[in-house]
Structure 1
Amino acid sequence: MLDKALGDLTGFRVLDLGCGSGEYVAELLARGAEVTAIDVSEPMVELVQQRFGARDDLHCYGQDISLGLPQERDDHYDLVLSSLMVHYIADQHALFAECARGLKPGARLLFSTHSPVADAELSPSGNYYAREAICDTWHTVGEPVEVVFYRRSLSEQIGALTDNGFVITALEEGTATERLRQRNAEVYKRLTTQPNFLFVMARSRS
């Protein structure tokens, strides 16, 4: 959904939250956007800077997004994009409040996250409606790093959006492509028979 929802971004200001190694940065730039990319990991920020070099249409810096977006202006962005990052934030209400502040009226928020159905199986308490911290391991840059993500109910996730004035315009659980089936039949079967991810598009208050 993230790829097909982007469209032509010529002249758009886009904020990429949790940019990682810059996979979406490359796509956003190719579509004509002016990109601000943020990640909590300084090695990831350095990787993006090395990958794309100095250019006028890209600004990348390190920031713990759970502490807000203090460097970002109000009503500035046409699109906020976040791929598989928001589940690392304990207080999503505060996160989406910052997204709403940074977006122009009527602009878009597009993000993916873990499926609450899939994450419910990891619940230490067995209470689907409880927000719970789950330990995860990243194998990205250098040594493996243990991180914590938060599982929560779908109603909590949606409430964090609507409480901040967002109107949800699309919600999908993802579809695997034929290309993936050809590359990895086992993963393709898992993604087409079990819930894994949630993809959400919303518009800010006009």
Structure 2
Amino acid sequence: MAPTPSTTMPKFKSKFAMHRDGHTNPLVWLVAIICTILAVAVVIAGIVVFIGYIAIHPRVPVISVTNAHLDLLRNDYAGLLQTQISIVVTAKNGNAKAHATFSSITFNLSYQGQDIAMLVAGPFEVPKNSSKDLNYVVQSSSIPLTPDQMEQVGDAWKKNEIKFDFKGAARTQWRVGPFGSVKFLCHLDCDLMFRPINGTYVPSKCTSKSK
């Protein structure tokens, strides 16, 4: 009578993990030690960046509209609007211990939902506790207005008060020691108000919020 085959699955011993005497292979210990060293290094680097960030007593970099002027505002009976606006945007680094880098800078100027211009700037660095001005002169082509918008422009002349929408964003970065950096994203969303009779700018709090 033929022997009945065994239903028990064969067992294999890992040659990598264990020796015959039951002790762990030295290679496993080596890999574990290397992983532990790497984990500790990551933790230490994070602590160093955090301590460096606290040590420089940070004031978040901001972008603000610090001055502006309505150089031209002209509308006709055909519903076309022409305008020219000078805008000064200031990038401020109030940190006394670290330089700040500003990049990905874009602003959009519009009136009553009608885009006038997109303003941009290349990356630049602002020294410690300093600022840099960006000077824009925005000259629009003829902007077609709806009847409601034409009426609003007429009211603006009567009230001697007109508003433009100014929105934008910029990325900022501080270098914290040799191990890392701190990054922020600045958002700017405000109204630019002018007196159309003489073009003067009505100052307002137009400063970015960071996150």
Which bracket does the TM-score occupy, shorter chain normalised?
A: under 0.3
Counting helix residues as a fraction of each chain, which structure ranks higher?
1
* TM-score, normalised relative to structure 2: 0.18
Query: TM-score scaled to structure 1, two decimals?
Result: 0.19
Q: Which has the higher strand share?
A: 2
